[in-house]
């Protein structure tokens, strides 16, 4: 998989027609409402009759119950995102590939967590989402690495290398994974919006617009978490470059005071979408509602962008987001049912537009 630039602009028409069709086939409110009322076995059976049929059948002999659902979801999402790369040509390919490196970060995180928790190789392997840029061989070598230090060493020459090398001593000192995971996230997001070829085109503008919205939401989430926890951490350590809403100084100031932060977000261009979540934060003092609202608002904003610019990279990225959200939702339902949560509790966990 290369991100080499080609002369062509990309085959937007073809890819977007396919993506829109798949987007329309995602689960809707009714499906979720049905799923929430099912037991874990029923969920598995329901999924066998949908989009996830192939994966459920392939994995059905080896796993059961919630695990089966979860592995089928991982495999399905990898299949869909590989399809995107297969279809896309030229510059469109470059944009999509860049964005799907998210799964490299995710896979590395999963492997590091597995090593940290001494999970068996098979357990970790089934949790990987093979949609990113790392090929199977490299993931294999990461999986067989004996310690987190080895993993960090193996990644030295990748785009995550520098960040991880910096974070590793902190991890050794404190014994928590947060610095490593944070380094991975930052490496991914910063790479997304830097080192673009610098050409000025409408496609590039839209790509940047879409991603800076995502970075904004991520920064917002970090800021709210920090403001709520009142922890004495330097917020700029968690700040991701590339957003339009905050700069590093603003976020340092705002994340000391929840009220100010709420006011700031309300005045911003995302204020309208987030109104409900912000209100619930003020009333119920619950961050969870706001985080759901953030996810939903990002999804909605991505839909707005893809309706406004139908022949651009936006619908493709919006589909990626929506698909991820669906997988998260189904996982939440399956895990929630397994843990015996009530229907209302599970429903409040879901992000539905």
Partner 1 sequence: MIENALALVGSVAPILQNAGTSYPAIPPKAAAALAVGLAAFGAGYAERGIGAAAVGAIAEDDDMFGRGLILTVLPETLVILALVVVFVVPDWSAVV
Using the rule CB under 8 A, is 15 a contact of partner 1? yes
Q: Report which DSSP code applies to 233.
A: -
Using the rule CB under 8 A, is 72 a contact of partner 1? no
CB 11 within 8 A of CB 92: yes
Among 17, 178, 248, 288, binds partner 1 (CB under 8 A): 17
Using the rule CB under 8 A, is 145 a contact of partner 1? no
Question: What SS3 state is found at 49?
Answer: coil
CB 97 within 8 A of CB 316: no
Rounded Cα distance, 272 and 297, in Å: 9
Please, which of residues 262-301 interact with partner 1 by CB under 8 A?
none
Nearest CA to 351 among 304, 294, 273? 294
The first and second tokens of residue 265, run together, are: 């977000």
For partner 1, the closer of residues 43 and 203 by Cβ is 203
Shortest Cβ distance from residue 13 to partner 1 (Å)?
A: 4
- Interface with partner 1 by CB under 8 A: which range of 17-25, 74-82, 195-203, 252-260? 17-25
3-state secondary structure 3-38: CCCCCCCCCHHHHHHHHHHHHHCCCCHHHHHHHHCC
For partner 1, the closer of residues 22 and 63 by Cβ is 22
Please, which of residues 21-40 interact with partner 1 by CB under 8 A?
21-22
For partner 1, the closer of residues 19 and 73 by Cβ is 19
Using the rule CB under 8 A, is 14 a contact of partner 1? yes
For partner 1, the closer of residues 19 and 44 by Cβ is 19
Q: Is 327 exposed, middle or buried (0-12, 13-18, 19+ CB in 10 A)?
A: buried
Phi, psi of 24 (to 5 degrees): -70, -25
Q: How many Cα atoms within 13 Å fall on the side-chain side of residue 56?
A: 16
- Interface with partner 1 by CB under 8 A: which range of 14-22, 64-72, 277-285, 339-347? 14-22
Binding mask 77-106 for partner 1 (x = CB under 8 A): ----------x-------------------
- Interface with partner 1 by CB under 8 A: which range of 9-17, 38-46, 235-243, 261-269? 9-17
Residues that bind partner 1 (CB under 8 A): 11, 13-18, 21-22, 87
């Amino acid at each position: 998989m290369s991100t080499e630039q080609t002369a062509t602009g990309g085959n937007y028409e073809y890819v977007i027609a396919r993506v829109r069709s798949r987007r329309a086939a995602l689960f809707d409110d009714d499906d979720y409402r049905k799923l929430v009322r099912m037991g874990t076995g029923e969920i598995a059976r329901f999924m066998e009759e949908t989009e996830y049929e192939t994966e459920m059948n392939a994995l059905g002999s080896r796993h059961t119950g919630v695990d089966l659902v979860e592995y089928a979801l991982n495999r399905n999402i990898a299949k869909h995102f590989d399809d995107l790369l297969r279809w896309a040509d030229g510059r469109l390919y470059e944009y999509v590939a860049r964005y799907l490196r998210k799964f490299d970060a995710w896979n590395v995180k999963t492997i590091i967590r597995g090593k940290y928790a001494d999970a068996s190789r098979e357990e970790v392997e089934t949790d990987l989402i093979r949609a990113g840029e790392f090929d199977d061989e490299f993931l294999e070598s990461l999986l067989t690495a004996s310690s987190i230090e080895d993993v960090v060493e193996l990644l030295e020459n990748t785009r995550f290398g520098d960040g991880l090398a910096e974070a590793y001593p902190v991890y050794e000192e404190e014994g928590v994974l947060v610095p490593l995971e944070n380094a991975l996230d930052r490496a991914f997001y910063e790479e997304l919006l830097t080192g673009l070829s610098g050409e000025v085109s409408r496609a590039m503008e839209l790509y940047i617009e879409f991603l800076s919205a995502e970075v904004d939401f991520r920064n917002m989430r970090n800021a709210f978490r920090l403001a709520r926890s009142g922890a004495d951490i330097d917020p700029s350590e968690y700040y991701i470059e590339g957003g339009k809403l905050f700069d590093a100084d603003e976020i340092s100031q705002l994340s000391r005071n929840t009220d100010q932060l709420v006011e700031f977000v309300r005045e911003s261009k995302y204020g309208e979408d987030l109104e409900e979540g912000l209100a619930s934060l003020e009333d119920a003092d619950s961050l969870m509602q706001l985080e759901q609202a953030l996810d939903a608002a990002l999804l909605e904003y991505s839909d707005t962008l893809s309706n406004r610019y139908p022949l651009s990279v936006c619908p493709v990225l919006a589909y990626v987001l929506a698909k991820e959200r669906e997988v998260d939702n189904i996982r939440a339902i399956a895990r929630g049912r397994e843990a015996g949560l009530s229907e209302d509790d599970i429903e409040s966990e879901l992000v539905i537009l």
